[in-house]
């Protein structure tokens, strides 16, 4: 019985390894680049300390071979933040159909004050938003 269980376990493990090694449903990321943030949605411009608010950003991607990679979130000062979005680019076959992607930052302030957010909008342009924390 023990030998039968060992054989069954070995077969299951081999099957899992085989399936995970043959995963071709993804494209390799070829490069990362800045993408301008076209618009920003803040639900409330006033909030409490330690509360959490989702700040949504929207960016336009030029093809299906691009997508959101991450943010560069810099604390410029105790109450200043600069946010730059980055996209990934894959080299696989894709349509050149553009689309707008939405992403979010969860902001949880730990001090009262007036926070100023600057979102990179291309070149030397920034979208500025302010949240007052009480």
Q: What is the mean pLDDT of each successive set of 10 residues along the chain, which is 134 residues long?
A: 50 50 68 97 97 98 95 97 97 88 97 98 98 98
The pLDDT value recorded for residue 10 is: 54
- Whether pTM > 0.85 for this model: the answer is no
The pLDDT value recorded for residue 61 is: 96
Q: In the 8-state DSSP scheme, what is residue 26?
A: -
| Collapsed DSSP state (helix, strand, coil) of residue 111 | coil
Find how far residue 27's CA is from the centre of its chain: 18
CA distance 21 to 99: 32
Find how far residue 39's CA is from the centre of its chain: 15
22 CB contacts (<8 Å, ≥6 apart)?
A: none
CA distance 95 to 32: 19
Nearest of 79, 59, 62, 81 to residue 70 by alpha carbon: 59
Q: Which helix (H) or strand (E) holds 11?
A: helix 2-21
Domains of the chain, earliest start first? 27-133 (2.60.40)
CA distance 106 to 129: 15
Nearest of 75, 134, 63 to residue 100 by alpha carbon: 63
């Amino acid at each position: 019985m023990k030998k039968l269980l060992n054989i069954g376990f070995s077969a299951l493990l081999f099957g899992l390894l085989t399936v995970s090694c043959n995963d071709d449903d993804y494209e390799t990321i070829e490069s990362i680049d800045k993408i301008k943030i076209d618009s920003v949605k803040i639900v409330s411009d006033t909030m409490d300390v330690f509360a959490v608010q989702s700040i949504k950003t929207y960016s336009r991607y030029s093809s299906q071979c691009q997508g959101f990679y991450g943010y560069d979130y810099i604390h410029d000062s105790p109450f200043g933040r600069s946010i730059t979005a980055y996209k990934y680019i894959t080299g696989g076959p894709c349509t050149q159909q553009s689309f707008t992607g939405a992403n979010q930052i969860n902001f949880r302030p730990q001090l009262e004050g007036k926070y100023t957010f600057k979102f990179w909008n291309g070149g030397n342009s920034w979208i500025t938003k302010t949240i007052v924390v009480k």
